[in-house]
Amino acid sequence: MRVSTAQFYIQSGLKMSDQQSSLNEQANKISSGKQVVTAKDDAVAYGTLAGYKNDLANIDKYQRNITQAENHNSLIDTTLASAEGMINELKDLMLQANNGAYTADDLAAIGKQASQNLQQILGIANTQDPSGSYVFAGYQIDDAPFALQADNSVNYRGDNGVRELQIAKNVSIATNQSGEQVFEKVPNAIGDFSATYNSNSSGIAVERAVVADASSYNSVANPADFTFEFSTATDLSITDGAGNVTNIADYAPGQTIAFNGIEVKLSGNPLPGDNFSLTPEQNVGIFETIKSAIDWINNKASGEEDPQVQVDYNQILNQLGDSINHLTSSRAESGINLQVIDRQKSNHLDTELYLTSGKSSIEDLDIAKAYSTFEQSKVALQAAQQTFTQVQGLTLFNYI
């Protein structure tokens, strides 16, 4: 078969070009340390490899979210633990102030300590994370959620928004708690109503006031507030907000008073003229209770002989105790979040190890084998080049 000079050049050039290209690819693999670099290397393996890389990228994103979620929940746990300590200190101040040996000056000093305690708890409620966002503000992260008023009351200016971060495919974790839920929604120590004592010469106290039968409780026909008045020690009249009167005869101390689906239990022995009102209030804010404690301490000296002083004292102490329990529950919520985060962190580490191993088995290059193949290809290329050089210089005159 005749082989023209042009055809010889073309075939030789293509062959050397293919060998050079193969050599370059092998050099790229050696320099990168990767067996599969492009889909051309192995289309099936490249697709599997892309899946591994995508899953690893997702885990990396989840790990960053886990770090943030862990930091936020740890901050919440720490700050609420501090708030618990502050309220315990306030309870101690209440106990000190109830000591009959303290003078008016002593009570004034305790009142100042209680006011400082309020400032510290307010600072906790307005805690900011490292980025400057307010932790207990809901979605209103740029403004302090709690504002102190001149009368020591505190207003909440945030919302109920709960921010979340995704830490796994189907797992999201809250990174904040609403200030309203944490500091405002403390269950009322006596139930569904709060008591206001209009006249209390005996020192009776409402121990429990609840809606016991919701089907019988009609707030439209029998609206609050409810006023309880003892005409004698055993005769009680209850007047609702519409003026409807319920009479209880032969009241005995400690008995449960039941009317319109409501149950009320009193402690103490009532005297004629004792009068108090019940107002619906299922939750009592922590700052509201702290304000009551400060007011009680500051007014203790002037009301030393008033039986109502001890009634208020017991009620405030009970509500402070419930406030601590409520904060503990909020801390437990963060603790549960931290447990979920720890488990998910461990799951991600196991999955990451599996994915990295699978990715490595496809992608990583056998260096020794690659160098051997590279050297063989280089020798083949050099041989082809030398052969081409020798052959392209031949003519018939070499054989004459």
Would 372 be classed as within a structural domain?
Answer: no
Would 13 be classed as within a structural domain?
Answer: no
Would 251 be classed as within a structural domain?
Answer: yes
Domains identified in the chain, total number: 2
Q: Which residue has the tokens 């309880």?
A: 228
Tens digit of each residue's pLDDT, the chain (400 residues): 555 555 545 555 555 555 555 555 555 555 554 665 665 555 666 566 667 778 778 889 999 999 999 999 999 999 999 999 999 999 999 999 998 788 889 999 999 999 999 999 999 999 999 999 999 999 999 999 999 999 999 999 999 999 999 999 899 999 999 999 999 999 999 999 999 999 999 999 999 999 999 999 999 999 989 999 999 999 999 999 999 999 999 999 999 999 999 999 999 999 999 999 999 999 999 999 999 999 999 988 776 678 999 999 999 999 999 999 999 999 999 999 999 999 999 998 888 787 777 666 666 554 555 545 655 555 555 555 555 555 555 454 454 5
Q: Do residues 64 and 182 share a domain?
A: yes
Would 147 be classed as within a structural domain?
Answer: yes
Q: Do residues 120 and 219 share a domain?
A: no
Q: Do residues 257 and 143 share a domain?
A: no
pLDDT at 368: 53
Would 367 be classed as within a structural domain?
Answer: no
pLDDT at 378: 58
CA dihedral 379, 384, 387, 391 (to 10 degrees): -170
Q: Domain limits at 328?
A: 55-187+318-350
Under 8 Å between Cβ of 124 and 86: yes
Inter-CA distances, 41 with 29, 49, 245, Å: 10, 12, 91
Would 228 be classed as within a structural domain?
Answer: yes
Cα 209 from Cα 186, distance rounded (Å)? 16
Q: Do residues 199 and 265 share a domain?
A: yes
pLDDT at 371: 47
Q: Do residues 66 and 164 share a domain?
A: yes
Q: What CATH number did the domain enclosing 144 receive?
A: 1.20.1330.10
Supply the DSSP string of 297-350, one letter for each residue: HHHTGGGTT-HHHHHHHHHHHHHHHHHHHHHHHHHHHHHHHHHHHHHHHHHHHH
- Apex 139 CA angle, 280 and 118, nearest 5: 55
Q: Do residues 214 and 322 share a domain?
A: no
Would 383 be classed as within a structural domain?
Answer: no
Would 389 be classed as within a structural domain?
Answer: no
pLDDT at 389: 58
Q: Do residues 89 and 209 share a domain?
A: no
Under 8 Å between Cβ of 162 and 177: yes
Q: Do residues 81 and 164 share a domain?
A: yes
Under 8 Å between Cβ of 163 and 260: no
Answer with the one of 282, 310, 339 that is the final residue of a domain.
Answer: 282
pLDDT at 397: 47
